[in-house]
Amino acid sequence: MQDWHRLKISELFEKLDSSPEGLSSAEAKKRSQQHGLNELEKRKKAPAIIRFLKHATNFFALLLWTGALLAFIAEYLAPGEGNLYIGVALGTVVLLNAVFSFYQESKAEQAMDAFKKMMPDQAKVLRDGAEVQLLAREIVPGDVFILEEGDKVPADARLFEANALKVDNSSLTGESEPQLRSIDFTHKNILESRNMAFSSTTVLTGSGKAVVYATGMDTQIGKVAGLTETIEAKHTPIHRELQFFIKVISIIAIILGVGFFGLGFFFERGFWQNMIFAIGIIVANVPEGLLPTVTLALSISSQKMARKNALIKNLESVETLGCTTVICTDKTGTITQNRMSVNSVLLGDSLVDTGAVHDKTDFDKLLHACVLCNNSNITRNDIGYDYVGDPMEGSLLVFAGEHIDIEKTRQAVTRTKEEPFDSLTKRMITVNSYRSGKAAYMKGAPEVVIKKCSHILIDGSAEKITKAHQRMLEEHSRSFSGRGERVLAFAYKKSRYGFSDSELESGYTFIGLLGMLDPPRPDVDTAVAKCKKAGIKIIMITGDHPLTAESIARKVGIISSEDPTIVSGDELSGMDNDRLKRILKEKEVLFARTSPQQKLKIVKALQEIGEIVAVTGDGVNDAPALKNADIGVAMGKCGTDVAKEAADMVLVDDNFSTIVNAVEEGRTIYENIKNFIVYILTSNVPEIIPFIVFVLFGLPLPLTVVLILAIDLGTDLIPALGLATEKLESDTMEQKPRSKDDRLLTKRMIFRSYCVVGMLEAAAGFTSYFFILYRGGWSWGQELAYNNPLYMKAVTGFFVAIIITQIANVMISRVRRQSVFKQGIFSNKIILLGIAVELALAGFISYSPVAHTYLHTASLSFFEFFMATPFALFIFFADELRRLIIRKSRKAKEYMEL
């Protein structure tokens, strides 16, 4: 890579084959063909219709399309038996699922749009030696553009003229403090060097000229955008599990359907009888309402989280939070309040009370340094102050404003020069002109400022600084940092006539130290404790000093051991991936003085050792890490649009506790999804067995395919949705995060659904079915037409029996460990609504003439309608007993382990 910031101006123009007068129009046209347009490019993707059809023709969809096609064929050959409704229902389910999947995929591909919004539309460029207004996309390498206050920089460029030019680089670096520009090389890092202007940044004050060296995807913002765009969106754990679940259930359906289709010929049944039977088996096995129910459940959870200040962009990310094993969090504004205040003051060699009124000259000097070596502004409000600019500088003004008039102090001087703070010099200098002469004020890192001082101000007198003074100041600085404070040192020097550049680097008089504290948010320690109890590891990744980071981490409980692992950004830069992985496996780890690029390195290493990672970020450079993480969390208040687009979740209040609340919701929704899968699988058994009995024993078919769909897409839907909104069990956040290898569908779940509760429901159905048949005079082996009143009544009885027993099933599916009575019988209003709808729909299908006509059902007596109630009560109380035994055995095990 060419070090454009290091070149001399003459070498720069030579390399770019340009001049201060810019390019000719002909040359610019030629270069445009060579380099392309100055715009951010999206990767080419398949047309929307192709991507939609992909979702409408996956394995699950093809299975349902096949069922729909066979239903239409059956309707054509044997009209009036309800197969038309079956085909329409199955086709509708496929289209709804495809729309949902396509929408989710489209939402995940919008990150590049936020980058494009940051690019300017037009720019002032020198072409053929004259200033012209051009579309920014037409700029090419070698062009010279003019910058003025309010302009957005159109491309990456090297400055060769700068007049009091300051830029806002926050869109690229996340740093809110205005950055002074010059034509001099000032830093080996191109992003820190003052002679550079970068695409998408904004001119705050001043003017300048620059020559373009990179456009489009070759710019710094283009590289970040390209990295973000090329990182493939990861499938969430719930997505992978649902796909696995659907595949298993579909394979079972196909095997049973094909197997019993062939078995029908063995029993000498006709082709179309066997075909209808195969359709019934497939429809009974496939959970048609699963994906719509999951979508609605995740949507409801995301709305609940929005009320708790967490905005979810990708619905499936709700559940991902539940299996998060590591949270990588920033410090400032997330763990802390991002409201810095002066907490400790050292004047010369004496600690003083920050709230006391001082009349000493030393204190006045310190206050003047706070105000005059500062670029922020504050305004007083009803409860205190609001500040605009860097939070640290704002806190200095708030502190000074309690003792002196800031506006009057600034009006008394004229700033003639400024050397802004950067990561290389670690200090800021301003030169201010008074009537009596000039004064230079310096603030910065204590280790830097102390070295530039020849004297120290003690009790109004400037004494020559000694090594003992230096040691004393260093000890106080470490003490402040050890309390979690950000420490700044202040110094000044005076001259009657002014200062040369060399004179500004030495000969200062030391004034004092200020320790500023950004206190932890009041509820963070509780949230951290909850995470630790839930088995979630928290790693703080911050740009702050290691001592400050460690102090805050200790205060909130992120680290508690005497010897935690603290890694600096410099150490991380030279660290290989294997060593990083070993460090990340340690119990307590903290990263300090790190960059956003290093955050991505940490996230990838964590994922490589099998962790499910949630990561916070706010800047443009955080976007790759946010997108690569299993769950990216952007800051709502201070985050850039790019960070918010790349993330899966946005914290409205920038609060760490909100993440923990979201994790709790994620765990709850995963448990609830498992619960409603158990619920909907259970009804498969009483839906499948009638078809098996139909083939093996030649009985009239006890349940029609249309009524199966009425259960799967009608009566089961609202109760299943109610299960998805069930409140968490009291010990949910005391469990370890589930392994990413854990299956949504387990052998225990299949046994419970298919072999226990499902069989009891089937028994209830057959009890009602045979009671009605025998009571109506039917004898074994007697064939009944599909429109025979007795047959229709018996089928209705079987259908209603499933509904009654499913009411008991939905109640026991609400919890996995606790008693339903402890959870609250009437606490879930949606389940109560679902039960009411189930009974209403069962009543409609049983007693409505419309249903009798189209669904071939018949009216039941009161006794026949509720005949399955004893089975429902047995299911409910038997499962209560099962859970009681589990709780007792678990408590006994815990007692034995004490």
**Selection from 448, 443, 440 nearest residue 428 by Cα:** 443
**557's torsion region: left (phi>0), alpha (psi -120 to 50) or beta?**
left
**498's torsion region: left (phi>0), alpha (psi -120 to 50) or beta?**
left
Report helix angle 656-682 to 717-724, nearest 10: 150
* Cα angle 565-514-517, degrees, rounded to a multiple of 5: 50
The SS3 call for residue 638 is: coil
CB atoms within 10 A of CB 445: 17
**Selection from 721, 714, 717 nearest residue 842 by Cα:** 714
**Selection from 180, 179, 176 nearest residue 162 by Cα:** 180
Which residues have a Cβ under 8 Å from the Cβ of 101 and sit 6 or more positions away? 55, 291
The SS3 call for residue 303 is: helix
> Tokens 């429809």 sit at which residue?
283
Q: Encoding tokens for residue 558?
A: 């992120």
CB atoms within 10 A of CB 866: 15
Q: Are 617 and 632 in contact (CB under 8 A)?
A: yes
- Tell me, what amino acid is at 307? R
Q: How far apart are CA 655 and CA 672, in angstroms?
A: 26
- 292 membership: H or E segment, kind and range: helix 290-306
Q: How far apart are CA 855 and CA 813, in angstroms?
A: 30
Q: Taking the C-alpha atoms of 537, 542, 547 and 552 in order, what is their torsion angle to the nearest 10 degrees?
A: -60
Which residues have a Cβ under 8 Å from the Cβ of 226 and sit 6 or more positions away? 217
> Tokens 């201010």 sit at which residue?
432
Question: Which one of the listed residues 143, 151, 156, 330 is annotated catalytic?
Answer: 330
- Tell me, what amino acid is at 666? G
Q: Are 724 and 293 in contact (CB under 8 A)?
A: yes
Q: Helices marked H in 315-412 — which ranges? A: 317-322, 361-372, 391-401, 406-411
Q: Greatest CA separation found in the chain?
A: 120
DSSP E strands: which ranges in 470-577? 486-495, 508-517, 537-541, 565-568
Which residues have a Cβ under 8 Å from the Cβ of 673 and sit 6 or more positions away? 238, 294, 297, 319, 724, 744
> Tokens 């054509």 sit at which residue?
76
Q: Tell me phi and psi for residue 182, to 5 degrees.
A: -145, -175
Q: Are 636 and 311 in contact (CB under 8 A)?
A: yes
CA separation, residue 33 to residues 30, 36, 417 (Å): 5, 6, 44
Q: Encoding tokens for residue 258?
A: 């094909």
Torsion sign across C-alpha atoms 702, 704, 705, 711: negative
Q: How far apart are CA 191 and CA 173, in angstroms?
A: 8
Q: Encoding tokens for residue 866?
A: 């509720």
Q: Encoding tokens for residue 730?
A: 């009291």
Q: How far apart are CA 104 and CA 94, in angstroms?
A: 16
Q: Are 643 and 131 in contact (CB under 8 A)?
A: no
Active site residue 459: no
Which residues have a Cβ under 8 Å from the Cβ of 747 and sit 6 or more positions away? none
Question: Catalytic residue numbers?
Answer: 330
